[in-house]
Amino acid sequence: MVQKGYGGTSISDIAQVVGMTKAGLYHHIAGKQDLLFQILQHAHDEMERLVIEPAKQVGDPERRLIEITRRHVRGILDGGLEFTLLYRERHHLDDAQQETIALRTRAYLALVGATLQELAMEGKLRDLDIQIGTIHLLKTISGIADWYPMFSEIDEDHLVEQTVNFGLSAILKR
């Protein structure tokens, strides 16, 4: 579904991959739409487990921002955050489900936004719009999932550090 999209992936396709028939699979899921919802919930669970919770342990905002970037990129490269790519298929959900997902997404955005706010009060921030800076930073990171498969010759550690440098240079006075 990550590769072919929600509409391009049939229940039969999924059943075949997990070694079942379509009817057998339906014993475990409530429907295609609900399956997408569960996957997106799982994606956010992994996001919180791998990125948000560890980052919240870091008191210093600059170190926290680095921690967020490192862990987020690392999670993408390790495949642990693979399903976050399906966020772009959220319009297939009903309104209540979309709101649930939107809330969790906004929570992550708020964490990064608050971190930038702290950095601003410490005078470390460039003269930039915090909201836009936050979104741009997160888009730079999450965008890696889109293009990295096509540039897999790039060393993973190198990409992590380059991304940290890119993001921090864009945001902090240096």
Partner DNA sequence: AAAAACCTACCGATCGTTCGGAAATCTTGT
Partner DNA sequence: ACAAGATTTCCGAACGATCGGTAGGTTTTT
The yes or no reply on residue 7 touching a second copy (CB under 8 A) is yes
The yes or no reply on residue 24 touching a second copy (CB under 8 A) is no
Pick out residues in 133-172 that bind a second copy (CB under 8 A).
133, 135-136, 139-140, 143-144, 146-147, 151, 154, 158-159, 162-163, 165-167, 169-171
Amino acid at 121: M
Please state, in angstroms and rounded to a whole number, the distance separating the CA atoms of residues 54 and 76: 16
The yes or no reply on residue 96 touching a second copy (CB under 8 A) is no
Of residues 53 and 146, the one with the C-beta less far from a second copy: 146
Considering only residues 89, 113, 114, 118, which one is a binding residue for a second copy as defined by CB under 8 A? Answer: 89
Please state, in angstroms and rounded to a whole number, the distance separating the CA atoms of residues 76 and 138: 13
The yes or no reply on residue 122 touching DNA (CB under 7 A) is no
Using a 10 angstrom Cβ sphere, with 0-12 exposed, 13-18 middle and 19 or more buried, the burial of residue 44 is buried
Taking the complex as a whole, the smallest distance from the CB of residue 59 to a second copy amounts, in Å, to: 26
Query: Is residue 125 helix, strand or coil?
Result: strand
Query: Is residue 113 helix, strand or coil?
Result: helix
Taking the complex as a whole, the smallest distance from the CB of residue 18 to DNA amounts, in Å, to: 9
The yes or no reply on residue 166 touching DNA (CB under 7 A) is no
The size of the interface with a second copy (CB under 8 A), counted in residues, is 38
Six-digit token string for 98: 């979309």
The contacts of residue 83 (CB under 8 Å, 6+ apart) are 2, 39, 40, 42, 43, 46
The yes or no reply on residue 3 touching a second copy (CB under 8 A) is yes
Amino acid at 149: P
Interacting residues with DNA (CB under 7 A): 9-13, 15, 19-28, 31-33
